[in-house]
Amino acid sequence: MDNMLSSFLIEFETLESISLNGYGGEAIHGLFFEVLRDYSGKVAEYFHNENKKSKPFSLSGILEKKVRTEGELFLGSGENASFRISILEEKLIPDTLAAFGKALNLKAKLPLANGRVIIKRINYQEGSSRWVGSSLYPKIFEEAKPAGKIRLRFFSPTSFRIKGKQCTLPAPYQTFSSLMDKWNSFSGIPLKNGFLERLREVYPSQFELRSELIQFSNYKIIGFRGVVEYRLGREFTSEEKRIINTLADFAFYAGVGYKTTMGMGQTMRIDSNGRR
């Protein structure tokens, strides 16, 4: 059976004023599991399994531009906003949609940081937003082209955890090995680990980046945001370029780096005009 992956938006309305750390990714993570537990403890436990090397989902923070002051984002009472869920394992897509569908139908008052919200809409219609989409792992692999340039936009702060320390630069090896780990965990089309060393020969040719500190409840993380163009030189075969381009296309769903289940590392491949 082909393995599907999907990304959709959850649109909500606040029932009171709310203040969120960073862009709200940590609080959205909490809301996500509240909805899952109310639907099925077994499903929530599967998502939360600490033994998994790679988590089968990623979450954005608040996608709209909202007022931020001293590292906090503020939503007024009755304000609308949205966040994105990407599911990397096909069997979890129906359960996730059913869980949020239940919250929507019951008009459940859900906790978000220091306030409550209600779900207004689940948007999974292709083409309705640049953040909504679905595909099959074989399709991503088969349609990847052997392009020599790859442009990625890191929409939310991105960081890598290396030997207990944070790396806040978009090094090609860290970027693509992060994607390769998730691809091998869920695609059913494993890429050989020996290919990892080849990733060290990818190099960034252009970039427009800034660093940003994100406040979580008990700690802070510095990450980078912006655009990076990676170049694949002549030393790469056409097939090797196709594999790396596969990973770049996969980034839309997987996210890159550390804390992708709490809003970090939201990434999208773009063209020279900034379009997906």
228: in domain = yes
pLDDT band at 167 (very low <50, low <70, confident <90, very high): confident
* Residue 259 sits in the same domain as residue 155: yes
Long-range pairs for 102-110: beta carbons < 8 A, 24 or more residues apart: 102/35, 102/38, 102/39, 103/35, 103/38, 108/35, 108/38, 109/15, 110/12, 110/31, 110/34, 110/35
115 and 150, same domain (yes or no): no
CB 130 within 8 A of CB 20: no
**For the chain, how many structural domains are there in total?**
2
What is the mean predicted confidence (pLDDT) over 30-48?
96
Show the domain range for 28: 4-123
- Indicate which CATH number applies to the domain containing 88: 3.30.70.1890
- Cα dihedral 113→116→121→127 (10° resolution): -20
Residues 114 and 174 in one domain: no
Residue 229: C-alpha distances to residues 110, 150, 232, 271, 273 (Å): 40, 5, 10, 10, 13
| Contact in structure between 18 and 255 (CB atoms under 8 Å) | no
109 & 150 share domain = no
Q: Are residues 229 and 261 in the same domain?
A: yes
Residue 247 lies in a domain: yes
Query: Among the three residues 65, 90, 123, which one is the final residue of a domain in this structure?
Result: 123
The residues near 73 (Cβ < 8 Å, ≥ 6 apart) are: 19, 20, 21, 22, 23, 24, 61, 62, 66, 67
Which amino acid type is present at position 29?
Answer: H
The verdict on 38 and 119 lying in the same domain is yes
- Residue in 256, 268, 227, 251 with CA at minimum distance from that of residue 5: 251
The pLDDT of 32-39, averaged and rounded, is 98
Residue 139 counted as domain residue: no
Do 112 and 148 belong to one domain?
Answer: no
**Dist CA 249 CA 161 (whole Å):** 22
Predicted local distance difference test score (pLDDT) of residue 192: 81
Same domain, 116 and 16: yes
Q: Is residue 238 part of a domain?
A: yes
For the segment 9-34, the average pLDDT, to the nearest whole number, is: 97
C-alpha 145/C-alpha 241 separation (Å) is 8
Segment 142-169 mean pLDDT: 93
Q: Are residues 170 and 255 in the same domain?
A: yes
- Asked whether residue 115 falls in the same domain as residue 198, the answer is no
Residues 149 and 247 grouped into a single domain: yes
pTM (2 decimals)?
Answer: 0.95
Of the candidates 121, 86, 118, 101, the one whose C-alpha atom is nearest the C-alpha of residue 8 is: 86
Q: What are phi and psi of 155, to 5 degrees?
A: -75, -30
- Does residue 131 sit within a domain? no
Residue 135: inside a domain: no
Q: What angle do CA 265, 269, 272 make, to 5 degrees?
A: 130
Three-state DSSP class for residue 97 = helix
In a domain, 133, yes or no: no
CATH number of the domain encompassing residue 215: 3.30.70.1900
> Can you read off the two tokens belonging to residue 130?
């640049």
Please say if the pLDDT value at position 1 is more than 60: no
What would the pLDDT profile of 53-94 be if each residue is shown by its tens digit?
799 999 999 999 888 888 899 999 999 999 999 999 999 999
Model confidence over 116-134: pLDDT tens digits? 999 999 999 988 899 999 9
184 is a domain residue: yes
Pair 263, 154 in one domain: yes
Q: What is the DSSP string of 195-245?
A: GGGGGGG-EEEEEEEEEEEEE-SS-EEEEEEEEEEEE--TTS-HHHHHHHH
